[in-house]
């Protein structure tokens, strides 16, 4: 299995989900709905707004089936129980 990308998420634009970088998700699509690339759960992009930008992906509700949540991950990937369609 390929290592999940912690620097990307999907944003909903004109009814379609498009994968973008976290910086683009906040800068160009700040009000768009966002979801995890792996489990399709709702996410938020957190981080500093200072000159040195460090963005992180945060699931709105943690579940044990997403490898992007190392503290909770059970070892078997599964869709989020509240996956965004």
3-state DSSP of 42-69: EEEEEECCCCCCCEEEEECCCCCCCCCC
Say whether pLDDT at 49 is over 90: no
Helix (H) or strand (E) holding 23: helix 22-27
The domain ranges of the chain are 1-85
Q: Is 70 helix (H, G, I), strand (E, B) or coil?
A: coil
The predicted structure's pLDDT at residue 18 = 96
Instruction: For residue 46, name the pLDDT band (cuts at 50, 70, 90).
Output: confident
Say whether pLDDT at 81 is over 60: yes
- Count of CB atoms situated within 10 Å of the CB of 22: 22
- Count of CB atoms situated within 10 Å of the CB of 9: 27
């Amino acid at each position: 299995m390929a290592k999940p990308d912690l620097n990307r998420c999907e944003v909903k634009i004109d009814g379609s989900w498009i994968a973008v970088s976290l910086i683009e998700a906040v800068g160009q699509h700040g009000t768009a709905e966002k979801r995890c690339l792996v489990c399709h759960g709702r996410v938020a992009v957190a981080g500093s707004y200072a000159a040195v930008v460090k963005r992180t992906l945060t699931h709105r509700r943690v579940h044990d089936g997403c490898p992007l949540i190392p503290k909770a991950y059970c070892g078997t990937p599964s869709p989020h129980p509240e996956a965004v369609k």
